[in-house]
Amino acid sequence: MSATNKYDRLRLVLLLGAFSALGPLTIDMYLPSFPEITADFGTEASLVQLSLTACLIGLGLGQLIMGPLSDVHGRRKPVIISLILYLVASFVCAISPNIYCFIAARFVQGFAASAGIVISRAIVRDVYSGTELTKFFALLMLVNNLFPMIAPMAGSGVISFTTWVGVFIALSIVGLLLAILATANLKETLPAEKRVSGNFGELLAGIGALLKDRQFIGYALAQGIMIGGVFAYVSGTPFVYQNIYGASPQLFALLFASNGISLIIGSQAVGRFSRTFSERKFVILGLLMAVTASFAALIVILLQGPLWALVIPLFFFVASIGMTATASFVLAMGSQSERAGSASALLGLLPFVIGAVTSPLVGVAGEYSAVPMGMIILSTSLLALIAFFGLAQKSRAKLANDILASKVTH
């Protein structure tokens, strides 16, 4: 695949952005429907949040499977097959007779959507390296981060004239369109001579080698734990904003979309200043910002402050995710070329596994308490900071120098 001119670059980023957008669309588009789904199935909020957990488990497990498979069979075929499966699973969600069938279908939907996320990242590593990898991934994040803004607004728009079922009919149509787009436009980026053996033992050995790479795991945990905290925010805000603060589905969608802007700001800062400010420094800055913002959000929650006082620190918290996720991905993938699919799978797996744990926990105190959400996002920010400093740093002296350099630069 040629990536030497601006047209090819733009076409590639839009194509990969569309595939990886299935993740945020699948997660975010039905969020404004949480209260309606709860009432329609006659169930509890925790079970509806469990449908998000099931989706996140599917997204994580699917990446762990589809990433290594793409190292064996190439990138194109697994993407197309998964998109067809996504279409079917989305339709099953729409016609589910009860909450348990719905949860199961959400798992399959997440599993199918995972291929678009993990393989699109592997394709980026196939085509780019070095500073160009940073710039292109930041550009991909720009496209991808538009969907957390669009998805809740699209979902609230759909349920304004139909029920939550219409959301999943719309996702079925998206799956169909993307399957057609992939068949017509996606070219293979991993030639047969560069693929790994399909031997299961060799695949496990490759994953094992990645797990033993201290710095790779440090970057992966920093990214994964931070994004896992975001899923607590994603699962909790529909109830916090609408039930506690009385926001309408439309206002919730607008507030949620504003944080899509903060994601874009964070990720684009990495791409824009990649030549003058190292990715490692961006990770440090992002982690420190996350701890500060999440602590401020928890204080507002404990003091029962107004809505605007909560929205502001959450804006900066999500901005730190855009910064940390982009920079840590580039650092983790920079040394991985032979097993880009497996590396991308591990990077993608951790956020969804952690998110699957944090998402239902935000509802343990009921639909009218935001305290669990605040505690979880602060805890994950601190854990990500510890993981990065403990694993990804070569020495304490190097850590001190990086922190000092980060402060001096800013």
Over residues 15-65, the pLDDT tens digits come to 888 888 888 888 878 888 888 898 899 888 878 888 988 998 898 788 888
How many CA atoms within 13 Å lie on the side-chain side of 178?
A: 30
CA neighbor of 349 nearest in space, from 121, 124, 138: 121
User: Is 167 in contact with 33 (CB distance < 8 Å)?
Assistant: yes
**CA distances, 4 to each of 33, 37, 51, 189 (Å):** 44, 48, 43, 14
Q: How far apart are the C-alpha atoms of 281 and 404, rounded to whole Å?
A: 10
CA neighbor of 36 nearest in space, from 18, 24, 48: 48
| More confident position, 1 or 247 | 247
Which pLDDT score is estimated for 316? 93
Q: How far apart are the C-alpha atoms of 54 and 107, rounded to whole Å?
A: 5
Residue 4 pLDDT exceeds 60: no
- Is 295 a member of any domain? yes
Q: How far apart are the C-alpha atoms of 345 and 68, rounded to whole Å?
A: 7
Residue 96 pLDDT grade (very low, low, confident, very high; cuts 50, 70, 90): very high
- Is 193 a member of any domain? no
Q: How far apart are the C-alpha atoms of 308 and 241, rounded to whole Å?
A: 11
Which pLDDT score is estimated for 203? 67
- Is 191 a member of any domain? no
Q: How far apart are the C-alpha atoms of 185 and 183, rounded to whole Å?
A: 6
CA neighbor of 347 nearest in space, from 260, 227, 267, 262: 227
- Is 161 a member of any domain? yes
Q: How far apart are the C-alpha atoms of 238 and 366, rounded to whole Å?
A: 13
Q: Domain count for the chain, please give it.
A: 1
All residues at 6 or more sequence positions from 59 whose CB lies less than 8 Å from its CB, including other chains: 23, 26, 27, 110, 111, 113, 114, 117, 348, 352
Mean pLDDT lowest among 140-144, 188-192, 336-340: 336-340
Q: How many residues does the chain have?
A: 410
Q: What is the CATH number of the domain that holds 31?
A: 1.20.1250.20
Six token digits for residue 187: 């070219």
- Is 169 a member of any domain? yes
Residue range 403-407: average pLDDT?
Answer: 47
User: Is 255 in contact with 144 (CB distance < 8 Å)?
Assistant: no
Segments forming the whole domain that contains residue 343: 6-186+202-409
pLDDT > 90: what percent of the chain? 23
CA neighbor of 55 nearest in space, from 26, 78, 82, 33: 26
- Is 279 a member of any domain? yes
Residue range 84-90: average pLDDT?
Answer: 95
- Is 68 a member of any domain? yes
Residue 404 pLDDT exceeds 80: no
- Is 197 a member of any domain? no
Coil, helix or strand for 279? helix
